[in-house]
Amino acid sequence: MQLSRDDLLSAYSTMVTIREFEERVAAEFETGDMPGFVHLYAGEEAIAVGACLDLDDTDVIGSTHRGHGHCIAKGCDITGMMLELFGRKDGLCGGKGGSMHIADLDKGMLGANGIVGAGAPLIIGAGLTAKTLKNGGVAIGFVGDGATNQGAVFESMNLAVVLDLPVVFVFENNYIGEGTGVEYSVGSGDIAGRASGFGMPVEKVDGRDFFAVHEAMRACIERARKGDGPSGIEALSPRYYGHFEGDPQAYRGKGEVEKYRTEDDCLKIFQQRVVEAGLLEENDMDALRENARSIVDDAVKAARAAPPPGASDLMTDIYVSY
């Protein structure tokens, strides 16, 4: 499937925006001025962008505790996100959600989630809504490798199949959950195989390869839109940062992350593919990266200058009104 030049530019732009956002958040967090807990997604950009490229605002995603990349891929505002991470009043969730509970319902982003595996049941509800309303919407659930061991995820897979929902599971296998490797924690080690045991097609793809992720996701999304039920992908790609910011990463080998950054970088893989094929020029791609850097820089400046929520905001956003 050949993507248009605009699609390729858009995909690369979103991938570099996620990378610039994450690298900058790492630096800002180190200053001590960013409250809360932060889990970075750098290294896994091709998964979020490949999964979300064909979605629109009627489609929803459920995220994980490592959710910035999912937010950006689903179209959330960068400044609103940065304000949220800094705990500012005008952040996407009024500065009260922070990194692990960031959400934007207008963009179909149901939220990052501090409870591992809890995004999966949320997208079952969203999938049931789309099926009931017949609005053509699809619900995508991002689930980490560690989260695939959670009972709630197993129940969600079962319900997706039993209720024949327009749902796609994106199992993000970054080889490790906190400090425990997949080979130790996942029975059989085969996440796709285990998920397909529920009775839906689940393809294993190279998560560093945007094109592989996108191609597989396109089939899953089309299947869901046609009413043919749930499916999924297991996408493998390493994360570059620790489990959380401040993690000493004693569980990692010497030079492991450097190898990932040089040999497994999804941005480099993308660039090499499109430049060699004559589809995009390096100059245009460099300009997109510069642009992303300046958007993120402006967002940090805006966040640092913005006020936190006031005492009067303490009792707001507690109940949802329908």
Ligand X SMILES: Cc1ncc(C[n+]2csc(CCOP(=O)(O)OP(=O)(O)O)c2C)c(N)n1
Binding residues for ligand X, per CB under 6 A? 64-66, 114-116, 144-147, 174, 176-178, 243
Phi/psi of residue 92, nearest 5 degrees:
-55, -30
Please answer whether residues 202 and 231 qualify as being in contact, where contact means their C-beta atoms are separated by less than 8 angstroms: yes
Query: What is the rounded CA–CA span in Å between residue 130 and residue 177?
Result: 31
Question: At closest approach, how far in Å is the CB of 304 from ligand X?
Answer: 28
Q: Which is nearer to ligand X, 8 or 112 (CB)?
A: 112
Task: Please report how close the Cβ of residue 100 comes to ligand X at its closest, in angstroms.
Answer: 9
Q: Which residue is nearest to ligand X (CB)?
A: 144
Q: How far is the CB of 66 from ligand X (least distance, A)?
A: 4
Rounded to a whole number of angstroms, the minimum distance from the CB of residue 125 to ligand X is 18
Q: How far is CA 32 from the centre of its chain?
A: 25
Report, in Å, the least distance between residue 274 CB and ligand X.
27
SS3 content of the chain, % helix, strand, coil (to 5): 50, 10, 40
Q: Which residue bears the tokens 């200053």?
A: 31
Specify the residue, 88 or 101, whose C-beta has the smaller distance to ligand X: 101
Q: How far is the CB of 285 from ligand X (least distance, A)?
A: 27
Q: Indicate the residue among 244 and 293 with the shorter CB distance to ligand X.
A: 244
- Cα(93)–Cα(100) distance, integer angstroms: 11
* CB of 112 or CB of 274, closer to ligand X: 112
Between CA 215 and CA 12 the distance in angstroms is: 16
Which H helix or E strand runs over 161?
helix 151-162
**CB closer to ligand X out of 116 and 126:** 116
Question: Which of 159, 162, 166 has the alpha carbon at shortest distance from 132?
Answer: 166
Q: Which is nearer to ligand X, 115 or 287 (CB)?
A: 115
